[in-house]
């Protein structure tokens, strides 16, 4: 053998020394011979009494009693190519991870065993340090091999997208990291806490350890402070029970069931909770049907704009409308927006919806302006959906719509949220300026609920600020809300911006807003969103009476 060949030759003794130094070992299991061979760092792994070889029964006997079912599952013959990933605790030793594969038509299995900490980086969520989705499912599968009753609970962090818009991804990562730490502190020992999605945490526990959803909520819903902001997280919780043993459900199927429960909990609003039941399977099938119907609704023209009046508080005249989408289903009737807007977003149809609403609203407004010249400078507001400001061809579409309908400059008003602006202010400023150039006016929606910089507001080409309805609804009984409303109105006037107050539910609130010199009011005190024909009737009546009617008090 040449010197070069000698240098490249495999030195088995050096390989064994390297395994021992890394607290790892190789193992080979031959069922026909009932022989498990171990080579490497057998002692620190708790395998000293078994090395260099032992029987299957001896191997299972050295495992912790609660892990013996896992040890026996590792030894059970499988088809060739079946992968092995099992965590075992040998007596008086840390948890070890056994990885390997079945070979030669399932005649033997071979792999490596090491302390779990050796593999920690590969199965942990890097942000929280909890188990990631893949490893969590693997651990659930291992745990369910043991007899007993278990509960899988998943918590979905509410309004994470809104937090991302307001705080930015880096700060939200700090929020999620803190939630992960709280979950790890609340569940330990044999419990399995994990982060299984961007905004989802999970835990598998053996039943009888207390009210698990309550423990989970208590851990995650404590307030925290990030970058100077007080955050009050809420979670929607789903739960499912399972019986361990040979007939245990597949981990993926179990997770599917609990996700159905989470969706049910979210439908009840923030902070909801639900348990899996067979009825949810029917609801899931109904959702699939709803998705199909929604996709066809765009083709069949079932999505239509309703119009909520916006009233000049000083004169009482209708100044304009806000176009809000509604779905007129052929069998279900009018589908509420909260039942299909989230689904529209999930299906990637929000940009299509936004274009449809702009087109309908512009055409309707053009007709009203022709038929009602006494209405003056009537305008119509349309919401840009989250992220729509970044859509290619947005400016070109707006320019085309304004040109085709012949609307005067500023009559079509586009509403954007603070979150959309804050994601990329420089890019948003360019798009907003171009929208103004082609004839649209611009409103900043829900002002006061985000964390935008006032310097951005002064530089961006907005025409209108809209005060979030919460502050308006509570301004007659909450001095803090009243101060916020007055501050926004004064800020708008200082920046030469018109101010629209949403949530005007009665004449009392309208009077307070007028006292604060707010320009416009919008809310159920005047009218809800109306079909186009009814909205025109409302406009006609307002023109005839000289002012829009408003309720004296809330219903």
- pLDDT at residue 9, rounded to an integer: 45
Shared domain check, 452 and 382: yes
Strands annotated E in 422-529: 441-447, 464-467, 498-502, 520-522
- pLDDT tens digit sequence for 326-357: 998 887 778 778 778 888 888 888 999 999 99
Residues 540 and 481 in one domain: yes
pLDDT, tens digit (0-9, with 9 covering 90-100), for 441-492:
999 987 765 545 566 777 889 999 999 888 999 999 989 889 999 999 999 9
Residues 328 and 448 in one domain: yes
Q: Are residues 69 and 104 in the same domain?
A: yes
Give residue 212's domain range.
133-278
Q: What is the DSSP string of 220-287?
A: H-S-EEETTEEE---EEEEEEEEEESTTPPPHHHHHHHHHHHHHHHHHT-TT-EEE--HHHHHHHHHH
Low-confidence ranges of the chain (pLDDT < 70): 1-22, 66, 116-123, 278, 281-287, 448-455, 554-555
Q: How many CB atoms lie within 10 A of CB 214?
A: 12
Residues 142 and 223 in one domain: yes
Q: Are residues 368 and 489 in the same domain?
A: yes
**Count of domains forming the chain:** 3
> Residue 312's CB: how many other CB atoms inside 10 A?
17
8-state DSSP, 151 = E
Calpha distance 89→97 (Å, rounded)? 9
Query: Tell me, what DSSP letter sits at residue 191?
Result: -
Return the pLDDT at 8. 42
- Pair (252, 399) in one structural domain: no
Same domain, 396 and 424: yes
**Which CATH number characterizes residue 62's domain?**
3.30.450.310
pLDDT, residue 286, reads 63
Where b means 16+ CB within 10 Å and e means fewer, 429-455 reads eebbebbbebbbbbbbbbbbbbebeee
Where among 213, 246, 278 does a domain terminate? 278
pLDDT at 517: 94
What is the model's pLDDT at position 10? 46
Give the CATH number, domain containing residue 383: 3.20.20.450
CB 334 within 8 A of CB 328: yes
The answer to the question of residue 206 being in a domain is: yes
pLDDT digits 0-9 by tens, 446-457: 776 554 556 677
> Residues 243, 311: one domain?
no
What is the value of pTM for the model shown? 0.55
């Amino acid at each position: 053998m040449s010197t070069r060949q000698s240098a490249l030759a495999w030195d088995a003794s050096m390989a064994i020394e390297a395994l021992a130094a890394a607290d790892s070992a190789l193992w080979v299991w031959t069922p026909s011979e009932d022989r498990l061979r171990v080579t490497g760092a057998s002692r620190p792994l708790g395998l000293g009494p078994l090395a260099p070889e032992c029987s299957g029964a001896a191997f299972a006997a050295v495992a912790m009693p609660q892990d013996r079912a896992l040890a026996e599952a590792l030894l059970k013959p499988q088809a060739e190519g079946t992968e092995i990933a099992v965590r075992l605790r040998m007596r008086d030793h840390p948890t070890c991870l056994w990885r390997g594969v079945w070979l030669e038509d399932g005649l033997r299995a071979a792999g490596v065993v090491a302390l779990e900490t050796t593999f920690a980086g590969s199965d942990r969520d890097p942000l929280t340090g909890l188990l990631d989705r893949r490893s969590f499912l693997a651990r659930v599968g291992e745990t369910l091999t043991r007899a007993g009753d278990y509960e899988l609970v998943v918590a979905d962090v509410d309004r994470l997208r809104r937090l991302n818009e307001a705080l930015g991804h880096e700060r939200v990562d700090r929020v999620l990291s803190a939630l992960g730490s709280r979950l790890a502190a609340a569940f330990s020992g044999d419990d399995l806490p994990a982060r299984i999605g961007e905004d989802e945490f999970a835990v598998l526990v053996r039943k009888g350890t207390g009210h698990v959803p309550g423990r989970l909520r208590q851990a995650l819903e404590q307030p925290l402070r990030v970058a100077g902001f007080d955050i009050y997280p809420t979670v929607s919780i789903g739960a499912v029970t399972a019986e361990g043993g040979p007939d245990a459900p597949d981990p993926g199927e179990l997770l599917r069931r609990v996700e159905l429960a989470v969706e049910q909990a979210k439908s009840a609003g923030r902070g909801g909770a639900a348990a899996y039941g067979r009825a949810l399977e029917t609801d899931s099938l109904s959702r699939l049907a709803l998705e199909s119907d929604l996709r066809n609704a765009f083709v069949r023209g079932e999505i239509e704009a309703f119009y909520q009046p916006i009233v000049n508080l000083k004169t009482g005249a209708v100044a304009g409308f806000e176009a809000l989408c509604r779905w007129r289903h052929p069998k279900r009737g009018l589908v509420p927006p909260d039942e299909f807007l989230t689904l529209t977003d999930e299906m990637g149809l929000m940009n299509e919806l936004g274009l449809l609403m702009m087109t309908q609203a512009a055409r309707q407004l053009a007709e009203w302006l022709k038929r009602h010249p006494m209405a003056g400078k009537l305008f119509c507001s349309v919401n840009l959906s989250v992220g729509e400001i970044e859509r290619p061809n947005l400016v070109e579409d707006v320019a085309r719509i304004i040109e085709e309908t012949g609307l005067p400059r500023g009559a079509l008003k586009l509403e954007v949220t603070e979150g959309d602006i804050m994601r990329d202010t420089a890019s948003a400023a360019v798009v907003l300026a171009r929208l103004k150039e082609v004839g649209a006016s611009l409103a900043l929606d829900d002002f006061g609920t985000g964390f935008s910089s006032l310097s951005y507001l002064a530089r961006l080409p907005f025409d209108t600020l809209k005060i979030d309805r919460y502050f308006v609804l509570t301004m007659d009984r909450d001095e803090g809300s009243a101060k916020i409303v007055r501050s926004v109105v004064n800020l708008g006037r200082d920046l030469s911006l018109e101010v629209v107050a949403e949530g005007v539910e009665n004449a009392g609130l309208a009077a307070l807003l007028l006292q604060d010199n707010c320009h416009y009011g919008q809310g159920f005190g005047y009218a809800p969103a109306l079909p186009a024909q009814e909205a025109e009737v409302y406009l006609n009546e307002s023109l005839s009476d000289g002012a829009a009617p408003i309720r004296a008090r809330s219903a």
